[in-house]
Amino acid sequence: MILTDLPQELIQHIIYLCDNETLRSIMAVTPQSQQSVLAVLKPEFQKRNFGLFKSLKEYEICSVAGKCICYDTPTFKRVIARDVAGIKQYLEWGLDLRRHTLWKHNGHITEENVFTVRWHFGSVVTLGDAVVLGGYSDKAMLFVDIVGSNMVASLSKVSMFEAFRRLNAGALKRLIEAGLPLTIGEDINNTVLHVALDNRDASAVLEFILPLTPELYNETNTDNETVLGREITLPFMNALRPFIKVDGISPSSNGRRLSPLYIAASTQDVNTVLSLRIYDAGVIIDESRRITHVFVTNITLIDPTESRQQEEYSRLQARLQRSTGSSDTSHPRQRLLTALHAFHRYKERNLAETKRWRDWYKKIPKKQRSIVESTVKYTRKLNTVEHLFETNERLAHEIVKHGMQFYNISQTELDQFVEENEKQGINTDKTSVSQAMKHFVRDWADEGHDEQQDAFPCILGSLANMSRTFEHPLRVLLPGAGLGRLAHEVNALGGFEVTMNEWSMYMNLAYRYLSSLSSVNSKTFHPHIDWWSHHATTADLQRSISFPDTLASPSVLLVEGDFTTVFAEDTGKYDVIVTLFFIDTARNLVSYFENIHRLLRPGGQWINLGPLLYGSAPFLQLSLDEIVALTEHIGFKFQETDPSCGGITIPGLTVRGKEVAYARNGKGLSKNAYQAQFWVARKN
């Protein structure tokens, strides 16, 4: 049942090496196995339409717990060169890409280039128990991976495997059932016990293992394990502990290269490790042979940034889940699909608008139209804008495509959503799409620099003066961050752990797309063609803008959702909260103020810059003096600020006002600006 998913020639070779009794023995330890990893993962990758697999001539998923080996005949560098976006997408999803040389047995031995992709699954896909067989690196070596029990058995030396199976079948079964994190192998002249640690209890297992390995991590031992390519010595292990991620799936690279036989499993119970190591391990390797080395395998340094991103991605996926048939319009998945629908219909909605403009133009008497055409060629202007909408459509399509991959939305789900909504005559929100795309200009294009220079310096100056270290960064939260340029500027100051928050799925789709870009000014579109007022020249109206002017940093974390609810478990977590053009978006200002106070640690600071432009059916609309009185009552003390941040708005208070532009067309004939209010308040 399970083997039918594999190539026939591979099955025949496995059967040749491994008799039916052996196969039955292996199958017996995984009675719940239902389907191969290949059968589970292939549709998942195809559904997500990952660019990397499009670049490969041939691919096969042939390992355990999301570790994938992709066969490719072109060189590794050529794969990277032609699919940078695909590789960046993999990294964003938490995939660990490695380059290996594969020896594949297909009647003869050939050397090919290989991607090995280790997937940290989380909630992305659940495999359950499964069996898959495939090729690996030591020439004709074949292996068996059993997901869940994580048994890895080399079948390259038949006699050794047969002897092992015949003499130690009971011990093998007990090891697998116990989930023992051992890898037994032959390392040149020594018998080696490789210990694969478990993610969930790395520190405890290290405490158990390290006393057994006084020789392993010293400078003279040539068998040192490596951490990101660097040898580590015993004195450094304590420093490494906070960063250790342990993977109980595969043996060490040293053991994998040299060992003809190994068994790997995982457990959380250190006592089980101790008891079974003394007895069963000795039986497995033959009592006449002494364990002379103990290797701690698969130690990798975790980038805290990557860990934060992965944890939040798992939480995001959980929030996106919903019960079948749920149609609550405020549900995150519903809002996401609504935004995807709107980007999906970008061209149709805007071409309908140009048709309306054409129809209006036709209402001009023919003689007058003739004059217009002979002087300004208005029809050509309409034609050009229609063409430019089609150009912009490519950007909208890329946003949709990336969004579906990132959020794990299938084409079928989106198509069904679009069909149902359009049957009901529900129009997409053209304005929200336009505003999200215009924010590429405001936040991430050269043309937005003037607006950033209006808004950012007072905030960044206040943050720059705060005492902090890179070892102990201050935690900063920026709610209502839009496309996040301010968050990235805060991050660039150094010494801050930056979290941004945004409710709008239109903005979040645009930001996720922006974060996937790997080249500066690699995207171009025409942001002003949907609004024909206040233009000095038609060339200004139709001009293109390139973005991003700089690349987004992966260390900035986006938490999607309602500011008042999504941080429910983060009381007192943040040192600073920065609100830029944010507080007047509240329906209930009091909830915003109370939440800011709750999230700050005692002594934490709230930095605000923005207008008081109320909208979205607010429950209350307060003047500035009322806001100061209310927030002081909640528990804030307003601080003195730099006079360069504007004049005092209300005598006797420390709040300052300065003119700040918002969403301006730099070459337009209108000026959109506010007397934004700036303050720094300390939580009592």
The residue among 549, 524, 547, 540 whose CA lies nearest residue 665 is: 540
Which pair of structure tokens corresponds to residue 515? 């974060």
HEC string of 574-624 equals: EEEEEEECCHHHCCCHHHHHHHHHHHEEEEEEEEEEECCCCCCCCCCCCCH
Q: Is the pLDDT confidence value at 421 over 60? A: yes
pLDDT band at 470 (very low <50, low <70, confident <90, very high): confident
249, pLDDT greater than 90: no
Residue 294: strand, helix, or coil:
strand
Average pLDDT over residues 628-632: 98
Split at pLDDT 50, 70, 90, the class of 322 is confident
- Per-residue confidence (pLDDT) for residue 304, from 0 to 100: 53
Average the pLDDT over 437-450 and give the result. Answer: 96
Residue 535 has pLDDT above 80, yes or no: yes
- In tens, the pLDDT along 558-569 reads 999 999 999 999
User: Which amino acid would we find at residue 6?
Assistant: L
Q: Which amino acid is at 327?
A: S
Task: Tell me how far apart the alpha carbons of residues 486 and 460 are, in angstroms, rounded to a whole number.
Answer: 9
Parallel, antiparallel, or unpaired: how do β-strands 190-196 and 230-231 relate? unpaired
Instruction: Quickly state the pLDDT bin for 57 (edges 50, 70, 90).
Output: very low
For 250-278, the pLDDT digits (tens) are: 222 222 222 212 222 222 233 332 232 22
Mean residue pLDDT of the chain comes to 67
Asked if pLDDT for residue 493 goes beyond 70, the answer is: yes
CA nearest 658: which of 461, 483, 397?
A: 461
- The hierarchical CATH code for the domain 308-683 is 3.40.50.150
Whether the pLDDT of residue 166 is over 80: the answer is no
According to the model, what pLDDT value does residue 616 have? 78
What pLDDT is recorded for position 187?
A: 31
Q: Which residue has the tokens 């915003």?
A: 592
Which residues does 670 contact at the CB level (< 8 Å), separation at least 6?
A: 533, 534, 664
Contact of 290 with 232, CB cutoff 8 Å: no
Q: Residue 326: pLDDT band by 50, 70, 90 thresholds?
A: low
Give the number of residues written for the chain: 684
Q: Which amino acid is at 570?
A: D
Over 70: is that where the pLDDT of 333 sits? yes
Tell me how far the alpha carbon of residue 32 is from its chain's centroid.
32
Which H helix or E strand runs over 192? Answer: strand 190-196
- Please tell me what DSSP assigns to residue 386: H
| pLDDT grade for 305, boundaries at 50, 70 and 90 | low
Q: Any idea which residue has 């209310």 for tokens?
A: 630
Mean pLDDT value of segment 2-12: 37
Question: 14-54 pLDDT, tens per residue?
Answer: 333 333 333 333 222 222 222 333 333 344 444 444 443 33
647-669: per-residue pLDDT in tens?
Answer: 999 999 999 999 999 988 889 99
pLDDT > 90 in the chain, percent: 49
Predicted confidence at residue 90, as pLDDT, reads 41
Q: Which two tokens stand for residue 300?
A: 């990798």
pLDDT-based confidence at residue 469 (cuts at 50, 70, 90): confident
Q: Quote the pLDDT of residue 329.
A: 84
Could you read off the pLDDT of 74-101 as tens digits, one per residue? 333 333 444 444 444 444 433 333 333 3
pLDDT at 169: 44
Confidence band, pLDDT 50/70/90 cuts, at residue 449 = very high
Contact 634, 671 (CB under 8 A): no
Q: Can you tell me the distance from the alpha carbon of 363 to that of 668, in angstroms, rounded to the nearest whole number?
A: 28
* Region 119-131 average pLDDT: 20
Omega before 548 within 30 of 0, i.e. cis:
yes
Q: Look-up: residue for tokens 């986006």?
A: 558
Spatial CB neighbours of 245, under 8 Å, sequence gap ≥ 6: 199, 202, 299, 300, 301, 302, 307
Find out whether 480 and 585 touch, Cβ atoms under 8 Å: yes
Query: What pLDDT digit, counting tens, does each position of 553-607 carry?
Result: 888 999 999 999 999 999 999 999 999 999 999 999 999 999 999 999 999 999 9
- Determine what percent of the chain is predicted with pLDDT higher than 70: 54
Specify the pLDDT at position 308: 84
pLDDT over 70 (residue 369): yes
Place of tokens 């805060």: 490
**Domain limits, the chain:** 1-141, 149-302, 308-683
Give which of 622, 613, 644 is closest to 459, Cα–Cα.
644
d(CA 486, CA 481): 8
Q: Which two tokens stand for residue 514?
A: 């922006």
CA-CA distance, 140 to 260, in Å (whole number)? 12
The beta strand positions in 256-405, using DSSP E, are 291-297, 299-301
The pLDDT of residue 159 is above 50: no
Report which residue type is found at 586.
A
